[in-house]
């Protein structure tokens, strides 16, 4: 059931009506039980065969959390550390078995064959559980946070299971942290009109970017990969340069929908994007892109590594950054393209570490004319191009496809004027998206009106909503699955 479908709308309407029904409203335990039930129904509709896995993993990690705390209470610190390590290893094993087993088996067999040894790997037919990369990270962080004494384990299993399976975010995130999310499950939720309305606006914006921008752009970018040499090189170049915007409209669109749906239920979940293409270098880009994943990996991979190598100075930082980004790349799936994607970004960090511009950047300030300063604009443009090259590696089905695409780019037809075949509205949508990125850079989403005519006039606000709804009806592209559903 896609989050932008009519069936989801009907499902969600039932969820909301029951969730805020007077019988449940003042009882958080009942509200959580209802949320848990509908979350499992939602997950089961995606793939019912994986429900036992989700439930089993939830039970095991719940018990591990309680166990770690008991050992810490008994001052058995080493045993608590060992149990936390076991929890992390179990989480990684879950990912390895379901996402990477075939990849490592095939790669190992190819390696042995490469050195003349006879070896064959029978590809196992392993079903990849939907959302496994997302809920596994939640499971791991729960136990690690208990061990770091940042949270207390919950003794309410329903509460914990609801945190793991929360339906708006289980498929593609954002990856919520237990410290922020679990306390929200400890209190009852009444319908908060301002938050719910903000959530509805965010859902509307998410649907618009996904259906009117990302789905239309997919026509151009996906066709280019089938047989790159069938297209003029200039068209391939434009497709490569537009893919970052398609990916953003798709994934940030999904995140907006998930965050908006959670807001209607009274929950605040992690923000996932902070206008990534306003970044002035690659380090800033990673602080603005898929923030719930990058902050997770920073906390649990980069920081421990960097702490362990802190006496090695910049070299230690570079090694930690490299490992961090390769892990981010491989998190997306079992393919050498993802490893190369991570390595490529890691290499882009090296000059930043040496120049000292790796850390936080100064706040963006516009020039007198209201647009970005010239130097900032050039840095944004350069960062965008570097990201586009990275995403070319990322979206390639294999390394050989990537090289074929790159070779196809360098042909005389690079200088021709490409025919893109995109619906005219796609360009309007893109311009609107780019303008909103800059003008609404201090807001979570563009439909949070804080000043101007839309903030003061209900007519203007509703006019904007109706225009967006009409655009969704008349200018939506051919329905495409969310890019991040595959992860």
Give the residues lining the site for other proteins (CB under 8 A).
81, 147-150, 298, 302-304, 306-308, 310-311, 317, 358-360, 362-363
**What DSSP character marks residue 98?**
I
Furthest C-alpha separation in the chain = 74
Q: How far is the CB of 310 from other proteins (least distance, A)?
A: 5
Q: Which is nearer to other proteins, 312 or 407 (CB)?
A: 312
Q: In this structure, are residues 299 and 455 in contact, taking their beta carbons and an 8 Å threshold?
A: no
Q: Which is nearer to other proteins, 94 or 321 (CB)?
A: 321
3-state secondary structure at position 76: coil
Q: How far is the CB of 303 from other proteins (least distance, A)?
A: 6
Q: How far is the CB of 86 from other proteins (least distance, A)?
A: 16
Q: Which is nearer to other proteins, 287 or 411 (CB)?
A: 287
Q: How far is the CB of 65 from other proteins (least distance, A)?
A: 17
Q: Which is nearer to other proteins, 310 or 407 (CB)?
A: 310
Cα–Cα separations (whole angstroms), residue 191 to 64, 196, 266, 268: 34, 7, 7, 13
Q: Which is nearer to other proteins, 307 or 439 (CB)?
A: 307
Q: Residue 138 is encoded by which pair of tokens?
A: 């939640």
Q: Which is nearer to other proteins, 56 or 313 (CB)?
A: 313
Task: List the alpha helices (DSSP H) in 115-173.
Answer: 132-147, 157-165, 167-170
3-state secondary structure at position 366: strand
b/e per residue 329-364 (b: at least 16 CB within 10 A)? bbbbebbbbbbbbbbbbbebbeebbeeeebeebeeb
Q: How far is the CB of 149 from other proteins (least distance, A)?
A: 6
Q: In this structure, what is the dihedral angle of CA atoms 179, 185, 190, 195, given to the nearest 10 degrees?
A: 30
Q: How far is the CB of 359 from other proteins (least distance, A)?
A: 5
Q: Which is nearer to other proteins, 13 or 303 (CB)?
A: 303
Q: How far is the CB of 88 from other proteins (least distance, A)?
A: 14
Cα dihedral across residues 22, 28, 30, 32: positive or negative: positive
């Amino acid at each position: 059931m896609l989050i932008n479908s009519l069936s989801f709308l009907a499902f969600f309407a039932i969820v909301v009506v029951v969730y805020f029904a007077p019988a449940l409203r003042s009882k958080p335990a009942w509200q959580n039980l209802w949320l848990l039930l509908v979350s499992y129904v939602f997950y089961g509709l995606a793939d019912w065969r994986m429900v036992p896995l989700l439930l089993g993993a939830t039970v095991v990690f719940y018990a591990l959390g309680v166990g770690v705390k008991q050992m810490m209470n008994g001052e058995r610190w080493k045993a608590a550390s060992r149990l936390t390590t076991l929890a992390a290893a179990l989480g990684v094993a879950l990912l390895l078995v379901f996402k990477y087993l075939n990849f490592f088996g095939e790669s190992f067999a190819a390696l042995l064959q490469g050195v003349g040894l006879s070896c064959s790997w029978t590809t196992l037919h392993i079903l990849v559980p939907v959302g496994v990369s997302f809920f596994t990270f939640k499971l791991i962080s729960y136990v690690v946070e208990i061990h770091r004494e940042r949270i207390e384990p919950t003794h309410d299993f329903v509460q914990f299971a609801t945190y793991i399976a929360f339906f708006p975010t289980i498929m593609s995130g954002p990856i919520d942290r237990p410290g922020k999310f679990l306390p929200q499950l400890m209190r009852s939720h009444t319908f908060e009109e301002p938050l719910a309305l903000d959530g509805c606006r965010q859902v509307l914006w998410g649907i618009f970017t996904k259906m009117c921008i990302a789905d239309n752009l997919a026509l151009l970018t996906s066709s280019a990969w089938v047989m790159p040499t069938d297209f003029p090189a200039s068209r391939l170049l434009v497709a490569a340069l537009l893919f970052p915007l398609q990916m953003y409209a798709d994934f940030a669109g999904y995140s907006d929908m998930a965050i908006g749906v959670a807001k209607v239920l009274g929950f605040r979940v992690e923000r996932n994007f902070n206008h990534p293409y306003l970044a002035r270098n690659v380090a800033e880009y990673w602080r603005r892109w898929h923030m719930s994943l990058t902050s997770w990996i920073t906390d649990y991979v980069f920081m421990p590594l960097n702490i362990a190598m802190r006496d090695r100075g910049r070299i230690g930082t570079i090694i930690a950054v490299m490992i961090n980004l390769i892990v981010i790349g491989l998190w997306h799936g079992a393919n050498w393209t993802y490893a190369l994607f991570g390595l490529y970004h890691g290499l882009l960090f090296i000059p930043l570490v040496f120049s000292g511009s790796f850390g936080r950047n100064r706040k963006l300030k516009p020039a007198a004319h209201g647009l970005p300063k010239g130097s900032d604009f050039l840095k944004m443009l350069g960062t965008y191009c570097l990201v586009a090259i990275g995403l070319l590696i990322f979206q390639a089905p294999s390394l050989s496809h990537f090289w074929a695409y790159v070779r196809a780019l360098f042909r005389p037809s690079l200088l021709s004027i490409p025919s893109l075949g995109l619906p005219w509205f796609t360009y309007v949508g893109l311009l609107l998206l780019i303008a909103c990125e800059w003008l609404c850079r201090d807001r979570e989403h563009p439909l949070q009106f804080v000043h101007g005519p839309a903030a003061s006039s209900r007519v203007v606000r509703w006019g904007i909503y109706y225009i967006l709804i009409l655009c969704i009806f008349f200018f939506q592209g051919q329905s495409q699955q969310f890019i991040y559903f595959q992860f």
